[in-house]
Structure 1
Amino acid sequence: MGTSTVQRAGPWGLVAATGVSASAVLLFALRLQLPGYAVLLAALVLAYATNRALFRDLLLIAVGLGIISTISVEANIDYANIALMGTVLSLSVLVPYLSSRYVYREHAIRFPIHTGQRWTTLEKAYLPIVVLQGYLILPSYFIGSGAYQNWPVVSAPDEIARLFVGVGFVGIWDELFFICVAFTLLRRHFPDWQANLLQAVIFCSFLWELGYQSWGPLLTFPFALLQGYTFARTRSLTYVVCVHLLFDAVVFLVLVHAHHPEWLDIFWY
């Protein structure tokens, strides 16, 4: 899967990686840019002083975080913002990937789409379970907490289409950056469970700014952990993207219903 074997990071390495994850909380969840950059820089300095291999990989994650932090990722489906956000999020994946591939001369970051392995019965069965979980949980969260108001009201067909495309695009990007970049690089230096916790903090922080607020982290943090675990088990980007898109399809339906209760009146909450 491209997680090249390198020496495991020690305790100070874990402190440095935790600092990178903590910077995401400051940058995205709390929107404290200067403290966020300060913590990120301090984490990189610590990694450079203690473990150069870890520093190189944390730098790639930090570059991605820095690129993302140049814009607001609040839900906004205006055409101009879609173009801006799409460009910035794409660069946050492409720059670390190209840097690893052509500057470091490594192939640590990969996007395993065609793995040649059939999905197991359990993996196939999990897909409808994801939809059922979304159906049972998401209406209570979005409507009960009022978090749906963090997304724009959509009424016209083109607005509905933009919301659908936007939700799906961000869902795919989540797996590309948080799993294929952050989680994959962290796994080179830490046990899977530690790497997964570190990426989940970054994942959850981004989703908070996107609009999953109130008690949203009680949903997004376990979801991020499950996605990391699933990727580690299946080694398949295709599979985790399918899981994410199925869940996001329910998110889209709930958001439309929440703004227009007479539409898609199919939810129980």
Structure 2
Amino acid sequence: MATPPSTAAHAPARSTPPIGVLPAAGVSASAFLLFGLQLAGWGHGVLLLGLLAAFLVSRELGKDLSLIGLGIAIVSTTSVKADVDWDRFFTIGTVLILAVSAPLLVDRLVLRRRAIRFPWLSGGTWNRWQMGYIVAVPVLGWLILPYYFITSGAYENWPHITDGGALARFFVGVNFVGTWDELFFICTCFALLHRHFPLWTANVLQAVIFVSFLWELGYQEWGPLLTAPFALLQGWLFSRTGSLLYVLIVHLLFDVMVFLAIVHAHNPGVVPIFLV
């Protein structure tokens, strides 16, 4: 087993009082209200209360949760429901870029620290299990995703695309969002939460935000049964490898199958590689 370096994801939890998990849970719950239930007023209210409570518990906890809350609030300014029209393509892309860059800039320029980092390589080697998982991910996606999209009807949450240009935007969009997921949910939310809480507490809290966002994006019906384990695995893998590159490879390989499965669901026979 490769020994992971001391990155933000592996840093020992700070001496945050146990009650600190309550405001952190409030911030995560705000994402569920904003993205999952589409309750903007309640969601922003819970987010604000969570941040205020965090500063009462610990100033450092308040700072870190404020960075997460800033990203959540920025994403909440627009719908992230899958859409490849040019105006939505650029609007969603701009909002997601801001949701990652704004917390990073505040961390660097206002708070004068480096709590948010994007460790491309860990400096260690990936073991056989980790390499095997990279191979297993697209295979699992090939087996599971067509069944999920078709039997649940969730593929209809993505537009039926026949135009080549729109199909190209869809492919770019799927990979862009997959990359953003790792930058925000793992390298930002998970890493900041892990500064204060044990691994699995931080991982569950980030997974709530991750899965809520994916629900609005289109992974609905019984989609959380797939997206929740995936979000937890990505956080755990990052904690083990300390490598953004590794979790990104895993995610994008899975997203290739997402793209192909949705195209197949809308256009049976066009991608003749699936069993369903």
* TM-score of Structure 1 vs Structure 2, range by shorter chain: over 0.9
2:78 maps to 1:92 = no
Secondary structure, counterpart of 2:233 in structure 1? helix
Return the match for 1:196 from 203, 223, 226.
203
1:127, CA displacement in angstroms? Answer: 1.0
Partners in 1 of 2:85 and 2:17 — Cα distance? Answer: 46
Q: Which runs of 4+ in 1 moved over 6 A?
A: none
Contact 2:14 2:197 in 1 (8 A): no
What's 2:25 paired with? Answer: 18
Structure 1 residue 122: Cα displacement:
1.8
Percent identity (aligned): 55
Normalised TM-score (structure 1): 0.97
Query: Distance in 1 between the 2:55 and 2:44 partners?
Result: 16
Q: Say whether 1:33 aligns with 2:45.
A: no
Higher RCO structure, 1 or 2 (CA under 8 Å, sep 6+) = 2
CA distance in 2, matches of 1:242, 1:5: 26
Contact in 2 for aligned 1:112/1:235 (Cα 8 Å): yes
- 1:5 Cα offset (Å): 5.3
Quote how far apart the aligned CAs of 1:106 are.
0.9
Shift of 1:51: 1.1
Asked whether 1:183 is paired with 2:218, we answer no
Corresponding residue for residue 250 of structure 2: 243
Unaligned stretches of 5+ residues in structure 1: none
Answer with 79-88 or 198-207: which moved more.
Answer: 79-88
Paired residues of 1:130 and 1:247 also in contact (CA < 8 A): yes
| Alpha-carbon offset, residue 6 of structure 1 | 6.2
Pairwise CA distance, 1:86: 0.8
| Contact 1:171–1:245 (CA under 8 A) maintained in structure 2 | yes
Alpha-carbon displacement from aligned partner over 1:91-146 (angstroms, at most 9, x marks no partner): 10001011111111111111111333332222111111001110111011000000
Name 1:123's counterpart in structure 2: 130
TM-superposition CA deviations, 1:129-177 (whole Å, max 9, x none): 0011101110110000000000001112111111100000000000000
Q: Deviations over 1:25-57 (max 9, x none)?
A: 000000000000111111111111111110000
Match of 1:105 among 108, 112, 115: 112
Which residue is equivalent to 1:165?
172
Superposition deviation, residue 260 in structure 1? 0.4
Is structure 2 residue 31 aligned with structure 1 residue 2? no
Q: Give the equivalent residue in structure 2 for 1:220.
A: 227
Structure 2 gaps, min length 5: 1-6
Distance 1:25 1:36, change over 3 A: same
Question: Number of paired residues?
Answer: 269
Give the secondary structure class of the aligned counterpart of 1:268.
Answer: coil
Question: Letter of the aligned partner of 2:246 in structure 1?
Answer: Y
